[in-house]
Amino acid sequence: LLQLWAPLQFLGFFYRELRQSLVDMEAMFDIMSTESKIPDGAVELPESAGGAELELDDVSFAYGNGRDVLKGVSLKLKPGESVGIVGPSGSGKSTLLRLILRVYDVTSGKVKLDGHDVRELTLSSLRDSVAVIPQDTVLFNDTLEHNIRYGRPTASEEQVAMAATRARLDKTIEQMPNGRQTMVGERGVKLSGGEKQRVAIARAFLREPRMLVADEATSALDTATEQGILESLEDVARGRTAVFVAHRLSTVRSCDRIIVMEQGKIVEEGTHAELLDGRSRGSKIGMYAAMWKAQAQEEEENNQKPDDLVL
Ligand code: ATP
């Protein structure tokens, strides 16, 4: 029974991560049944200190109702490179993350890690290699220490403390009645959205994955919190291959590359600077620049104090 317990606990963790990050609560049952249909591969993705090479080769995907939500997406990331994915709601950003994690398998084309089709890899080695920073981190009714340690149950106290510091949770911890031993979650101290995200980042620091996948929450954080989280995310992504799905364009500004998606296709691609000054590539040059302008304007309006508003 004990032998079964560990993998079950791991699976439970993985489902929770997925539930938090990449799917609607309502879609959970779908995922569970899809999950069981995903056949395991035989190749172990080697554990190594460096980032993994990620390639999407002409990937198309439909959820089963026939309509392709991804259409011929190709993308190659060198080990350690980061990519930001932006685009309108429903353009397929989260779906792309789900295919990398093999929540679903491609309809056609290939997703490859270090040259291996992900379908050939063991699910455990694939998921051990990737840390997910979900949209909304659900905390267990347990201590903060336990919640962070979930990233790597065998981690020492020092390693947990170090991960908390690197995720910049140390100030939060200082203010708690029992430090890291404080109960959090529904029945304990409630953490803010930003603090919960930091718990996910601390878990990722502990896991030292080869790849990082982050799905940004749509809910707004205040500018200072957002900036702090962004810095922690950049820290944890350093040296790893990273895919950031973002709604706020400032999140992906410093990524090595940014892709803009629309209706399941990559329509524009480049660095932030290239995208802003028309040196980008793709069928919709200028789309990112327009989105950037619109967001800047929106922020300016939101930052206006009531007194400043002309009625
Ligand atoms: P957002 O920015 O709103 O998170 P997105 O770009 O991440 O959107 P996806 O969530 O990947 O978009 O969705 C792409 C398309 O696939 C949408 O039309 C969506 O309705 C559809 N879709 C997403 N999940 C499922 C599902 N489980 N079953 C069927 N269709 C789905």
Which regions of the chain does DSSP assign to beta strands (E)?
54-62, 68-77, 82-86, 108-113, 116-117, 130-133, 142-143, 183-184, 211-215, 241-245, 257-262, 265-270
Q: What is the pTM of this model?
A: 0.84
Which residues contact ligand 1 via a Cβ below 6 A?
Answer: 27, 30, 63, 69, 87, 89-95
Q: Which two tokens stand for residue 236?
A: 């944890």
Q: Which is higher by pLDDT, 230 or 202?
A: 202
Going by their DSSP bridges, the two strands 116-117 and 130-133 should be labelled as unpaired
Distance, CA of 63 to CA of 35 (rounded, Å): 14
Find the Cα–Cα–Cα–Cα dihedral 52, 206, 234, 297, rounded to 10°.
110
| Selected residue with higher pLDDT from 71 and 66 | 71
Q: Which structure tokens are listed for 31?
A: 């995922």
Q: 65 CA distance to ligand 1 centroid (A)?
A: 12
Nearest CA to ligand 1 atom 19: 90
Question: Mutate which of 29, 34, 91, 247 to test ligand 1's pocket (most atoms within 8 Å of Cβ)?
Answer: 91
- Segment 145-199, tens digit of pLDDT: 999 998 889 999 999 999 999 999 999 999 999 999 999 988 888 898 889 999 9
Ligand 1: centre distance to CA 64 (Å): 12
Angle at which helices 193-207 and 157-166 pack, to 10 degrees?
130
Confidence grade of residue 36 (pLDDT, cut at 50, 70, 90): low
Grade residue 130 by pLDDT with cuts at 50, 70 and 90.
Answer: very high
The residue nearest atom 31 of ligand 1, judged by CA position, is 63
Do strands 265-270 and 116-117 pair parallel, antiparallel, or not at all (unpaired)?
unpaired
Q: For 201, phi and psi rounded to 5 degrees?
A: -70, -40
